[in-house]
Structure 1
Amino acid sequence: MVLGMICALASAVCFGTASVLQAVAARGAAPGTGSGVDARLLLRVLKEWRYLLGLALDGLGFVLELIALRALPIYTVGAALAATLAVTAVVAAPVLGTRLSRAEWGAVALVCGGLALLGLSSGEEGHLRGTTALRIAVLLFALAVLASGALAGRLPDRARPAALGLGAGFGFGVVEVAVRLLDDFAPSALLTNPATYALLIGGGAAFLLLTTAFQRGSVTAATAGMVIGETIGPALVGVAWLGDRTREGLAPLAVTGFALAVVGALALARFGEAPQTTETKPDPVAAAAGRPARERRDR
């Protein structure tokens, strides 16, 4: 279990560092036409070295996340991944010359405190592997995330980033659950397991939706939606259907830790709103400072 917690935290460090690089690349890429989700945006940002370096860190983070999900309850790993925002804020400060306010440092401490409580109270991962019906349901949900993302991209400007961020969070949540539903890694078993396709579709949809949200809308709203979507739903699935539990008698401590980590992460969603340097042509680096572009992944 100790190894799982180390991997979860190391995964957050990878994703948080990658977010700084990816946010700069996404904001610096040439914008597409219209307001909907633009798949060609991915092709444009893939020409940016910062984005490619971020992808390499995302890949490492995904491997560490997978190890953590095989050793810890989903609610613990999800809260640890929400700590990515704390990592992003801390890394962006020296790298991009931004400053954290006292409230933001307090939010970082809140996330760390919540994770400490979770580390003390978490039990081992649940031993239930899920039914075929649950695997199919997760796949259908991944397809729904992909379809709803196309609709969210056409919403009015004010509602669009939050909807896209929430959709991305649901996609990341699908990945977390799907990893736990992979009980046999033989090629033939993977090809016949609906969870394999749910993982690929959910991760791809989340990757695209979050990239679009960060380029075309409020990063604060998108990130807040993402944190909610990727933590609460998967945690409930883990407890209700996969047997995730806390240590004996420590359930209140785990709930408190989970809540503190998520609240702290939501508070840090504001960190990306750096002021623009001019009224007509914002500096892409300043505008992207600290913006947690955690497009993990085919996680």
Structure 2
Amino acid sequence: MRDVLVFAFAVSAACCLGIGFVLQQNAAQRAPMSDFLSLRLLVDLVRMPRWLAGIGMMVCGMGLGAIALGQGEVSLVEPLLATNLLFAMALSRWQTRQPLGRTGWGGLWLLAGGVAAFIVAGRPHGGDTVTDPLRHWLIIGVMVGGALAMAAVSKRVRMSVEAPLLGVAAGLLYGVQDALTRVSGERLSEGGWTTFFLSWQPYGVLVLGVTALVFVQSAFETAPLRLSLPALTAAQPLAGIACGVGFLGDRLDTSPGALAWEAAGLVAIVIGIVLIGRHPAMPSGSSEFDRVRDLQPH
């Protein structure tokens, strides 16, 4: 019963996130380029009703995801959250009236099959949380440091490259945020509100969330959704699983056969995400506007 609830909350979260991302990109592509990678971008976007609707959907998704993370392992919830791209695809297809075709159906089945293969083969389950603080900070440092480095590099490359870089950077931060959300929930349930507010993890969740939001909106602002959302969707579960197994005590089946299926599942997830993200149904904004932006240096 517990796993059924985790599945229901995680998939509902994915639905809200996917719809929210599409609405946010529709609005962010109209923001001025002078706001790139700046908090001013959020100030300008907050005046757009469609963006606010997208943020509302994303907040609902994060809330449902937090409930799923509180009930299940990160390595179980993260692959399910990756299905947000299916819901983004459904909304985009409804907007554009584009048929799925072989690419769309192939991506859909690879993503769904990859999630199923990883969960069935890995059988994620809880274990003892790693208490070594060095291991915690090493994993978090690699993820956050890598994300910040990608954001810094994105300012020096073509816009067709910077959107995927920012998507990966945001995905890494969201993966770490999900792990810290799980820890924050444990602090609250074990020690109450005093322990919760005296812990650093809730504030880490807030800082990571705002930083990732700026990265995501900047990516949405500079390029079509098909360039940024697949990168974000692929990076988040990989980062979350790394944190779950690395320091949250999540356990996966490590027999040779299971490891092979887990690896195949993760590869299928990434390939499916890329195929879906590059499908013509995914919103591309104004093609002329995008071509001009791609030719212009920062």
TM range, smaller chain: 0.7 to 0.9
Distance 2:27 2:279 in 1: 18
- Structure 2: how far apart are the matches of 1:152 and 1:6? 38
Specify whether residues 199 and 169 from structure 1 end up closer, same or farther in structure 2 by C-alpha distance, changes over 3 A only: same
Change (3 A) 1:251 1:4: farther
- Partner of 2:23 in structure 1? 21
Report the CA distance shift for 1:33/1:268 in structure 2 as closer, same or farther (over 3 A): same
Alignment of 1:138-287 (within 5 A): 144=145, 147-148=148-149, 151-157=152-158, 158-182=160-184, 183-185=186-188, 186-217=192-223, 219-246=225-252, 250-271=258-279, 279=288
Q: Return the offset for 1:212.
A: 0.3
Q: Mark the CA change 1:77 to 1:242 in structure 2 (over 3 Å): closer, same or farther.
A: same
* Distance in structure 2 (CA, Å) of the matches to 1:32 and 1:90: 29
Aligned to 1:289: none
| Aligned counterparts of 2:9 and 2:122: Cα–Cα separation in 1 | 15
Match in the other structure for 2:90: 90
Q: Secondary structure at the match of 1:70?
A: helix
- Secondary structure (helix, strand or coil) at the match of 2:278 reads helix
For 1:259 and 1:128, the matched residues in 2 are separated by: 28
Q: 1:242 to 1:155 in 2, by over 3 A?
A: same
1:174–1:198 contact (8 Å) kept in structure 2: no
- Matched-pair contact (CA < 8 Å) for 2:19–2:91: yes
Structure 1 position 175, deviation (Å)? 0.8
Contact 1:74 1:125 in 2 (8 A): no
Question: What is the match of residue 286 of structure 1?
Answer: none
Q: Which shows bigger deviation, 150-159 or 48-57? A: 150-159
Change (3 A) 1:64 1:215: same
Q: 1:280/1:212 Cα in 2 relative to 1: closer, same or farther (>3 Å)?
A: closer
User: Against the structure 1 CA distance between its residues 7 and 159, is the aligned structure 2 distance closer, same or farther, given a 3 Å change threshold?
Assistant: same
Work out whether residues 79 and 231 of structure 1, in 8 Å CA contact, stay in contact via their aligned partners in 2.
yes
Post-superposition Cα deviations, 1:33-78, rounded to whole Å, max 9, x if no partner, equal 27x4132121222222222122221122112111222233323322
- Deviation, 1:3, is 0.9
Structure 2 unaligned residues grouped into runs of 5+: 292-298
CA RMSD of aligned residues (A): 3.0
1:167-210 per-position Cα deviation (integer Å, ceiling 9, x unaligned) = 11111111111122222113322222222222111111111101
Contact 1:136 1:195 in 2 (8 A): no
Q: Secondary structure at the match of 1:231?
A: helix
Instruction: Report the structure, 1 or 2, having the larger helix content.
Output: 2
Partners of 1:25 and 1:45 within 8 A in 2: yes
| Closer, same or farther: CA 69–61 of 1 in aligned 2, 3 Å | same
**Deviation per CA, 1:14-35, whole angstroms, max 9, x where unpaired?**
11111221111112x331327x
In structure 1, what is the Cα distance between the partners aligned to 2:140 and 2:290?
A: 42
Mapped contact 1:138–1:174 kept (Cα < 8 A): no
| Stretch moving more, 157-166 or 172-181 | 157-166
TM-score by length of 1: 0.80
Unaligned runs of 5+ in 1: 283-299
Match of 2:9 among 2, 7, 10: 7
Q: How many residues align?
A: 280
- Which residue matches 1:70? 70
Matched residue SS, 2:53? helix
Q: Secondary structure at the match of 2:126?
A: coil
Distance in 2 of aligned mates of 1:193 and 1:275: 42
